[in-house]
Amino acid sequence: MPSVSSYFIKKGIKAGAKKLKLEEKKIEESRQIIDSFARKFSKLPKNCKVEKTQIEGIYAEWILNNQTKEDKVILYLHGGGYGYCSADTHRTLAARIMIESGVKILLPEYRLAPEHPFPAAIEDTLTIYRWLLKQGYESSNIIFAGDSAGGGLSVATTLTLRNQSETLPAALVCLSPWVDLTSSGESYRKNSDKDPYLRSDLVRLTAQAYAAGESLDNTLISPVFADLSGFPPMFIQVGSIEILLSDAQLLADSARQAGVEVHLNVWEGMWHVWQISNRLPEAKKAVKEIGNFVRQFSLY
């Protein structure tokens, strides 16, 4: 059963989203509001260090502490519908995952749509991953992780690597992954009035902005439709009341059919990317669960 605090936090999220009306603002203004809010209310955990860097023209941040090992890394891809969010919005979540997993995080700011539509985000992620390999990181010591669009980007990038016969990361961690931009799943209708964050109509508009005329069922745009044979183990968390519930379930089904090891955990009463709410008991438990998964896969 969801915690009492989840009831109040969910109501606050819904009221805040309604008040901001970001869909009525220009995209640059919306981005600024989102990032400003994150900077104001997000607080890094103690004993956490952030190192800013540029990787082949892409801004990124290393998030680590004195206990993370030098040769292990989680490449974390932030969500935001491929058009929003940044290191500012996801730095705290990434830091909490770093602490629970004991593995340092690399958090890049890939290019955003509509200025930079598909496949720009995939190209930037490939650049970062290949750079890590050039620096001497073994693919078996790299995990891809991401939430929402970042979860989908993790899958799409791995699919690209596999199709090009390149080495794959050790595992994938997908939080509320957006992997079906056609919005074909039942939860887009069933949970349309339950999810405090996402609206089905706005998700469809965001999908069109990212695809920029490409077919939404393109497997690199909606990797849920891809053959996932040869993929590394996948760990998926999703909330029971979010509109992307079907995305996660369909992704897990597709992976299992391809013989991939999959761990799918559906959290009762939780909404889209609840893990980011660090005051929420369920968020703390979910991040601990992520850390336990990461520790299993050849990283120690």
In CATH terms, the fold of domain 4-296 is Rossmann fold (3.40.50)
**Dihedral-angle region of residue 133 (phi above 0 means left; psi in -120 to 50 means alpha; beta otherwise):** alpha
Instruction: Identify the weakest region by mean pLDDT among 45-49, 74-78, 175-179, 269-273.
Output: 45-49
- Of 78, 183, 272, 282, the active-site residue reads 272
- Judge whether 101 and 290 are in contact, CB under 8 Å: yes
Please indicate whether residue 148 is annotated as part of the active site. Answer: yes
The burial class, CB within 10 Å (0-12 / 13-18 / 19+), for 199 is middle
* DSSP per position, 76-122: EE--STTTS--HHHHHHHHHHHHHHHT--EEEE----TTTS-TTHHH
Q: Do strands 58-64 and 49-55 pair parallel, antiparallel, or not at all (unpaired)?
A: antiparallel
Answer yes or no: is pLDDT of 20 > 90: no
Average pLDDT, the chain: 94
Answer yes or no: is pLDDT of 298 > 70: no
Please indicate whether residue 242 is annotated as part of the active site. Answer: yes
147, containing H or E segment? strand 142-147
Entry pTM: 0.96
How many Cα neighbours within 13 Å face the side chain of 276?
Answer: 23
Tell me the C-alpha distance between 287 and 258, whole Å: 27
Per-residue pLDDT tens over the stretch 97-153: 999 999 999 999 999 999 999 999 999 999 999 999 999 999 999 999 999 999 999
Those residues whose C-beta lies under 8 Å from the C-beta of residue 70, and which sit 6 or more positions away, are: none
- Of 242, 254, 277, 282, the active-site residue reads 242
Sign of CA dihedral 16, 22, 27, 28: negative
Tell me the C-alpha distance between 211 and 221, whole Å: 7
Q: Where are the domains of the chain?
A: 4-296
Quick one: pLDDT band at residue 197, thresholds 50, 70, 90? confident
Please indicate whether residue 23 is annotated as part of the active site. Answer: no
Residue 241, SS3 per DSSP: coil
Answer yes or no: is pLDDT of 299 > 60: no
Quick one: pLDDT band at residue 2, thresholds 50, 70, 90? confident
